[in-house]
């Protein structure tokens, strides 16, 4: 989140929007409210407390060496028509989509949508 927050102007200039989703419980051990108070973000943030969203997107991680009842780190670029243009699912809790790849996917999606108008 912190990396993308630093790039918020660039992301907004592409016409894209960000939404963060965390498979965490309000008041849980990772204290998402405290984190957000200390590290404010300018994009919408959803706590997926019952894991409905993460299960629907196929990134729910029931148990592993580095996870328990959480989501794999994942990044999706979704076109305006609702189709998925880019997916990155991390292999561990420390594996994130390369920011450059994400920006490229957003720009490609924007260019494709402009051509189709």
At 78-90, the pLDDT tens digits run 888 888 889 999 9
Contacts 24+ apart (CB under 8 A), 24-30: 24/48, 24/49, 24/70, 25/49
Contact 76, 56 (CB under 8 A): no
User: Does residue 28 have a pLDDT over 80?
Assistant: no
At 51-63, the pLDDT tens digits run 899 899 888 877 7
Q: What's the start-to-end Cα distance of the chain, in Å?
A: 32
Q: Hey, where are the domains in the chain?
A: 2-115
Mean pLDDT, range 53-75, rounded to an integer:
81
Residue identified by tokens 């989703």 is 21
| pLDDT bracket for residue 14 (50, 70, 90) | confident
Contact 74, 89 (CB under 8 A): yes
d(CA 51, CA 23): 6
Contact 60, 37 (CB under 8 A): no
Global pTM reads 0.75
CATH fold label, 2-115: Glutaredoxin (3.40.30)
């Amino acid at each position: 989140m912190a990396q993308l927050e630093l790039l918020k102007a660039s992301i907004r200039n592409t016409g894209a929007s960000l939404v963060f989703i965390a498979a965490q419980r309000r008041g849980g051990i990772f204290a998402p409210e405290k984190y957000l108070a200390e590290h404010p973000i300018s994009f919408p943030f959803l706590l997926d407390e019952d894991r409905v969203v993460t299960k629907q997107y196929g990134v729910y991680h029931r148990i592993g060496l580095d996870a328990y009842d959480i989501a794999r780190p994942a990044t999706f670029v979704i076109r305006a028509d609702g189709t998925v243009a880019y997916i990155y699912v991390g292999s561990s809790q420390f594996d994130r989509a390369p920011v450059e790849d994400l920006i490229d996917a957003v720009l490609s999606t924007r260019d494709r949508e402009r051509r189709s108008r």
